[in-house]
Structure 1
């Protein structure tokens, strides 16, 4: 029944998408059949560009009636720029010549006499939108930050690219964005962020977001949109906001591309290349990247357990390393069917291999200073993953350039497998262990999306859209204990788990925008029908979840000047439980701190409001704001302790989370020497739950700063610092985290190449400390990355780059 419903919905959406195009084709065919051209003369000519007089391939030539500009005939020039219009009825016409990247040209007073068989128009010269050059040039960059009505647009310039190998490196330089210890993005220091790539969910590219971001080369990115109070157009998920990573879409004629090689310490190397080709209506692009990575860490944990009759104390200390390599490949093509219809298709493939090892010493004391239990746990693990994604997009433009219909689709399938081996050493025989964990995961997903934008008036626009997303995930975790007598591994069904997960999301949204000379308004509503199916196969437990959510949004702006405005935004967000949070598999890789999923999680709803001012110009600007986030059923991780001193961590709906404060971002050019951008905030965070006996409230502050300095001899230096201040978390507080990076670069080969030297985490200060205090335990924990990253990068760009685009 579920498959039938899926096919019906898919067929309906595809019918909606394709009907306008099919109707256009049918009408055009019928018209052509009923009104054949009368025999007439021929118009011939050749299209060239100024000032080189090179032939312009595949230009569109339209023949219009002189009296009413009605379309009579049309052709496309060949590879040599030559065109022929046949069967032209005698009369007076206007010739219109168009091609992407060139100014539209109108040739008036084209006359075809009754007795004429051939009219030679000779050479017709069209002018590029911006003068094309035979080499890469440097021009003034766009303003880094652009404040739209419901988002901030961060343009990725050459300075950010020169000091970034992948998208993870870029995100750390974006105002209000940071990364946690696992590489997941945060907005204003909080997780639960939805990450999109070209408006599509990032999980279409794989299941592990940090790996995806590390795989994407930085030089494929055009801009990053950050939405702290997103409009109803965007995904309703993500309690903290939405980040949309927009990749470059080449409109450059000819061939261009680049390559990048980065060599680093601790086996952190990266290589990537990309190439684009466009001729007339057709364009193709391809990219390939690969990297190896290595990171070492250390951790400690100290916990007093009060739940038993006598207080026990646990002390842990250890170290470990994560190593891996991944590859990412992308091939895409785009084709302009005509002036108003275009298609785009592509394939992405990624693979990832990782290796982990850790050595953790555990000591338990019942009497201070006297160790009653002591064991060392060694872990060696490996994993492999792959993901294949197909996408197809269609765009139809109407007479008004802002009047358009778009259809996007993606199908993704992938999987991962892994194994971990645990050896537990102790002088106490009962604590000795040999264990094995085998993992297998398979997933697939389908995403269909359509948007229709209708400019009702020059200042009023209606946008409606439909979304559907279906995904499935089969996860098998098998755990084995080694029998010391037989030497074989025996299956442990108590902690093994086979987990099946399916979800289907059907969404419709509508936004209405109205602008006047001073005021702007965008109101929207998003309706989502969400269906979730959970099958705990190993214990024969299956259940379904269904709910309907409404996500309203409102944004109002008031212009104060040419580039300044006031803004008031509101949005309701929903955080639906992820599959990993629901999976009840018990992770015993650390037997004193086990983790499990919670299949009873409910969605979290958050109200977000923001009032701000912005003033951004080419030389810089700033955007201060007041913000507020409120959730009364927040999803957060809770830790409980049993009588033996073993903690269990899992996600739960704990109660109220409330944060409010002041934030500002800014960018500023100081002469031709210094460019600054950054953000900062002061805020109060509160986590309160009567059921969980939590009441944490604290003031905090955080911010980041990027500085780019121009030095003599084409050298440029950069520095980045970020500080996330202490904040309230469930059951305790997390201390502040400070990170500092620096780099220096030099342009070479007439600015076609760049060589740069970068150091990340200069002071080895990327450490995370937390204190938890409850009625049953008190805990202090510490985790630190112990290797700074140093790399030397060479980047080379080739081909024809239009001066109208960003030179980066």
Structure 2
């Protein structure tokens, strides 16, 4: 019995020793400490990684403690090497580290790392703008990457803005009110006197970077836009060297759009230029059925209309920035816009009695073309200061716009058997010319622990002329006879002088601003046909 117990004990000890030799129950450990080779100072949080020599596979890793010491435990028997590293130091390798039953613990002692200078390459940090930024008096909508409006015009972009609606004729309204001012880069549009619809249609969506919707206009802005102000910010690159972008778009419904933007930047000058063009052809069809009941007398109106609408535009812009120093910049820019609307349509009208019998029939065809063009010259100055947010700006702007419209109308009359009886010919001629000078300056000064002060002035000089002529064709004399009752020739001159001041601040999360604006307006108008005139000063 005693012999058996001794035999079992010896067998168990032999088995444990054999297992340790095979490495099945590892107990090896590698220790050491990291120091700076030049200063002999402790290196804390240094990286120490242990690799197996035979296949360079990573076995274990750790970091040095506050005394520079590190410890790698529970290692199997074998050959290893260590890689020690830290930011700003050259990586150090220590090989031929053997862990076996005779050397279960290996102390590497002090490991000295040498400092190393590393030349870093350029670092490019990229990010994306917020889609919508809300400020105290305005909302900024970044639409540069809005793919839903690609190939369209500013009308399509504006139509995607919440609270803004655009009807079928392109008229823009904010919360149901169409009294909106449209600015381009914070300045009046080159299309002085044109409708908001015409202005937005002339701007391709591809050239827009962002739109500022001023929902609560401050005293800085003209009081005309009581509903709001749309400030369209156009793209303008400021990268160094020569850069540019070219785009071509083809859309369904016979729509085509192309643009090119170029920019060349030197240490003191920045040259920029752009050109874009849009072509759009639309066909329209419609049908109107109306029942009239007048004093129990029933009649019907049936209208069929077919037409083609064509639009084309060309926009050219060029300019330069002169960067005098880090605080002063002078800019001159020129922008030219030319676009036109052509339409060709016919309306077939049938009048019928209560028995649905034809009582009258005629066809009215309309061929019209409307061409508009405008130039805008801007000289600007901008000065910044060491104080963040403080700036002084000044602008001199000349806008010149003209519009011509020709319309030919032919009404063909028929009897109830649809036999032609007569033709009525009418012609409409319109021409508008508008010139506007703007002189303005604005100064912003944020004062610590006091608030933000803004002040400035604006002078606007307008000179507008509008002429309309209508002529009817006389078949007896084969001459076009002018219609004096519809003829107009109107001149309008306006001078507005304005100064303003604004104070803004915040109390915790509550922001507020107060402003005061004073204006003097001198208006002269005259109508050459009726020989009437008026003058207003207020």
Structure 1 and Structure 2 fold alike (TM over 0.5): yes
Counterpart in the other structure of 1:212: 199
Aligned pairs (5 A) from 1:467-478: 467-478=458-469
- For residues 510-538 of structure 1, the C-alpha deviation after alignment (integer angstroms, 9 at most, x for no partner) is 21011344332111233333343332221
Does the 8 Å contact 1:325/1:354 carry over to 2? yes
Distance 1:489 1:195, change over 3 A: same
Does the 8 Å contact 2:303/2:350 carry over to 1? yes
How far apart, CA to CA, are the structure 1 residues paired with 2:529 and 2:297? 37
Q: Report the secondary structure of 2:414's partner residue.
A: coil
- For residues 367-421 of structure 1, the C-alpha deviation after alignment (integer angstroms, 9 at most, x for no partner) is 5745543321101112222111100111122342322221112101121222111
Q: Report the secondary structure of 1:494's partner residue.
A: helix
Distance 1:465 1:367, change over 3 A: farther
The reply to whether residue 530 of structure 1 matches residue 517 of structure 2 is no
Does the 8 Å contact 2:297/2:354 carry over to 1? no
Size of the aligned set, in residue pairs, is: 416
Does the 8 Å contact 1:193/1:241 carry over to 2? yes
Counterpart in the other structure of 1:154: 141
How far apart, CA to CA, are the structure 1 residues paired with 2:421 and 2:471? 17
1:444 shift after superposition: 1.0
Does the 8 Å contact 2:254/2:282 carry over to 1? no
1:232 to 178, 198, 219: 219
Counterpart in the other structure of 1:501: 492
Does the 8 Å contact 1:459/1:515 carry over to 2? no
Distance 1:416 1:302, change over 3 A: same
Does the 8 Å contact 1:205/1:348 carry over to 2? no
- For residues 110-155 of structure 1, the C-alpha deviation after alignment (integer angstroms, 9 at most, x for no partner) is xxxxxxxxxxxxxxxx999x845xxxx9x44122111101111112
Does the 8 Å contact 2:193/2:434 carry over to 1? no
Counterpart in the other structure of 1:286: 273
1:189 shift after superposition: 4.3
How far apart, CA to CA, are the structure 2 residues paired with 1:530 and 1:369? 60
How far apart, CA to CA, are the structure 2 residues paired with 1:180 and 1:190? 12
> Which is worse superposed, 235-244 or 267-276?
235-244
- For residues 253-297 of structure 1, the C-alpha deviation after alignment (integer angstroms, 9 at most, x for no partner) is 112210110123443211100011111121111000011111233
Counterpart in the other structure of 2:320: 333
How far apart, CA to CA, are the structure 2 residues paired with 1:308 and 1:498? 43
1:434 shift after superposition: 0.8
The reply to whether residue 461 of structure 1 matches residue 448 of structure 2 is no
1:459 shift after superposition: 4.8
Counterpart in the other structure of 2:385: 398
Does the 8 Å contact 1:203/1:209 carry over to 2? no
Counterpart in the other structure of 1:441: 432
Aligned pairs (5 A) from 1:568-583: none
Distance 1:206 1:351, change over 3 A: farther
1:259 to 236, 246, 249: 246
The reply to whether residue 383 of structure 1 matches residue 370 of structure 2 is yes
Q: Report the secondary structure of 2:484's partner residue.
A: coil
- For residues 315-354 of structure 1, the C-alpha deviation after alignment (integer angstroms, 9 at most, x for no partner) is 5442322102110000011112222221111000111133
Q: Which runs of 5+ in 1 are unaligned?
A: 1-125, 548-808
Does the 8 Å contact 2:281/2:308 carry over to 1? yes
Distance 1:363 1:471, change over 3 A: farther
Distance 1:375 1:502, change over 3 A: farther
Q: Report the secondary structure of 1:543's partner residue.
A: strand
How far apart, CA to CA, are the structure 2 residues paired with 1:150 and 1:368? 62
1:231 shift after superposition: 2.2
The reply to whether residue 175 of structure 1 matches residue 162 of structure 2 is yes
Q: Report the secondary structure of 1:212's partner residue.
A: helix
- For residues 565-598 of structure 1, the C-alpha deviation after alignment (integer angstroms, 9 at most, x for no partner) is xxxxxxxxxxxxxxxxxxxxxxxxxxxxxxxxxx
Does the 8 Å contact 2:151/2:251 carry over to 1? no
Counterpart in the other structure of 1:481: 472
TM-score (norm 1): 0.48
Q: Report the secondary structure of 2:136's partner residue.
A: coil
Does the 8 Å contact 1:193/1:239 carry over to 2? yes
Give the superposed CA RMSD: 3.0
Q: Report the secondary structure of 1:158's partner residue.
A: coil
1:365 shift after superposition: 5.5
Aligned pairs (5 A) from 1:423-442: 423-427=410-414, 432-442=423-433
Aligned pairs (5 A) from 1:5-84: none
Q: Greater Rg, structure 1 or structure 2? A: 2
1:440 shift after superposition: 1.8
Counterpart in the other structure of 1:592: none
Distance 1:275 1:231, change over 3 A: same
Counterpart in the other structure of 1:629: none
1:166 shift after superposition: 3.4
